[in-house]
Structure 1
Amino acid sequence: MGRVSAADIWIVDLALSPGQLDRCAPVLDTHERDRAARFMRAADRIRFQASHAALRLILGEALGSAPGTIRVEAGGAGKPRLAGAAHGAFDFNLSHSGERAVVGVARGAAIGVDVEAIRPIPDPLRIARGHFAADEVAALAGHSHETMEPAFFGLWTRKEAVVKALGAGLSMSLDRFSVSVPPARPRLLRMQQAGDWTLTELDCGPGYAATAALRCAASEITVQHLAGDWTTRLR
């Protein structure tokens, strides 16, 4: 997919008031409501509802349709895609962690996004050795104790964004390709039949790492924050 494309990225604050949250559930479809109901923790259920409502708002405004009318289905490897009359209009992806969500929309290219709340983990290098490529582990090992966790989560989001753009899901082993390790600028280093890729680091605020990955040489990537009153547009 080497042709030039454009991508829009939205960063969403999921810390909503009870009144704002009440506007989210009504625009979700039956499948999303069932998934939300299965979360044991109220915080996880709220984040799921809010992030999917934000996704529907963004898709709806891009298509000129009401958020509740957007039809979404699972692709061949489980990656969500537009269904019905809007099928193939553009590619999109959603990720959420903590109080942040990231939504990416791309025309003419596949897109993947990933955001992670940076949190303490006992042994980042042990996890990396079990899942990542050898060159990534070597680069991560050069970090100090103070920078290890941010670098680990930055690396994790770069790899997850690539996998999500591919639509490979859990079927793709993370050691089959390598990406650069923070603080190096994000880029794909090695992948069989890679083609053109663009990786972009996203600023979701202190305590978060996030990346967008596009399967193209992108001419324009626009990053914006969804306005704080976005739930009032859920009609």
Structure 2
Amino acid sequence: MSAADVWIVDLAVSPDQLDLCWTVLDRPERDRADRFLRPVDRARYVASHAALRRILAETLDCDPAEIRFAAGADGKPELAGSARGALSFNLSHSGARALIGLAPAAAIGVDVELVRPIPDAGQIARTHFAADEVATLMALPPDAIEGVFYGLWTRKEAVVKAHGTGLSLPLDRFSVTLPPAPPRLLRWPGAGGWTLAELDVGPDYAATVAVRSSDAKVTSHRLPADWPKDLG
């Protein structure tokens, strides 16, 4: 049985904690952070990437600042240096939450979305999703569409991120179940099994993890509120 661990992270850190987060980032991460126009977006990027380093460092038994990243053949971030190939990881953040997934023996993808008003959910679904998903979504009562849309979106994004080919796999090439049904693949263009799991990251959020293994055991964790203190 494959194993996958997912951490739920609160990104609402204090200015002093954010300073600690900044110290462990490498030059490319700092340059990327500096390109954000809104301070809140910059802070959440810095905090989420510091949290990723903290979790990886604990798993790999090293210092958070020592971790090196590289872009894989498909552009998906992967570990570089002495930790190259040690495990698969994935990061997603939205609003004040981040989701970080690690798997030593299978590809993993995670996605979290803050549920907010989206009046054109039906049009987005018809443009991007598979026909069977659209039919199920649009058959719902109008006041239920928005919440289910976000659950569906995270399921599909988690699969695409685990697959690792980005937009080269169109979202209408495969289909998944819609909430409140348990997440699973209904149609997939390739071979191999998958495990999908829904995660409770707090009110007003939808979140899914996808592991490219038919029998993965997914375990969820929450970083403590004072997690940045372990970066120093």
Q: Does TM, scored on the shorter chain, surpass 0.5?
A: yes
The 2-side partners of 1:153 and 1:185 are apart by: 14
For residue 76 of structure 2, what is the amino acid of its counterpart?
K
For residue 226 of structure 1, what is the amino acid of its counterpart?
L
- Can you give the 5+ residue segments of structure 2 that lack an aligned partner in the other structure? none
Instruction: Decide which moves more: 98-107 or 190-199.
Output: 190-199
For residue 47 of structure 1, what is the amino acid of its counterpart?
R
Q: 1:169: how far off?
A: 1.3
Instruction: Decide which moves more: 164-173 or 40-49.
Output: 164-173
Identify the residue that residue 157 of structure 1 maps to in structure 2: 154
The 2-side partners of 1:140 and 1:179 are apart by: 12
Identify the residue that residue 228 of structure 1 maps to in structure 2: 225
Equivalent residue of 1:62, what SS? Answer: helix
For residue 234 of structure 1, what is the amino acid of its counterpart?
L
Q: 1:219: how far off?
A: 4.2
Identify the residue that residue 166 of structure 2 maps to in structure 1: 169
Q: Report Cα offsets for 1:82-126 as digits up to 9, x if no partner.
A: 001101100000000000000000011000000000010122111
TM-score (normalizing by structure 1): 0.97
Identify the residue that residue 5 of structure 1 maps to in structure 2: 2
Q: 1:20: how far off?
A: 1.1
Q: 1:217: how far off?
A: 2.0
- Quote the sequence identity (%): 62
**Runs of 4+, deviation exceeding 3 Å:** none
Identify the residue that residue 21 of structure 1 maps to in structure 2: 18
> Pick from 181, 184, 190: which aligns with 1:184?
181
> Pick from 186, 193, 204: which aligns with 1:196?
193
The 2-side partners of 1:132 and 1:49 are apart by: 32
1:48-127 pair list within 5 angstroms: 48-127=45-124
The 2-side partners of 1:139 and 1:194 are apart by: 25
Q: Report Cα offsets for 1:59-81 as digits up to 9, x if no partner.
A: 00000000000001111111110
What do you get for the CA RMSD once the two structures are aligned? 0.9
The 2-side partners of 1:19 and 1:158 are apart by: 35
Q: 1:147: how far off?
A: 1.5
The 1-side partners of 2:177 and 2:216 are apart by: 21
For residue 192 of structure 2, what is the amino acid of its counterpart?
G
Q: 1:172: how far off?
A: 1.8
For residue 78 of structure 2, what is the amino acid of its counterpart?
R
Change (3 A) 1:130 1:219: closer
- Can you give the 5+ residue segments of structure 1 that lack an aligned partner in the other structure? none
The 2-side partners of 1:217 and 1:192 are apart by: 16
The 2-side partners of 1:143 and 1:43 are apart by: 35
The 1-side partners of 2:90 and 2:116 are apart by: 23
> Pick from 201, 205, 217: which aligns with 2:214?
217
TM-score (normalizing by structure 2): 0.98
Aligned residue pairs total 232
For residue 36 of structure 2, what is the amino acid of its counterpart?
F
Instruction: Decide which moves more: 117-126 or 97-106.
Output: 117-126
Q: 1:146: how far off?
A: 2.1
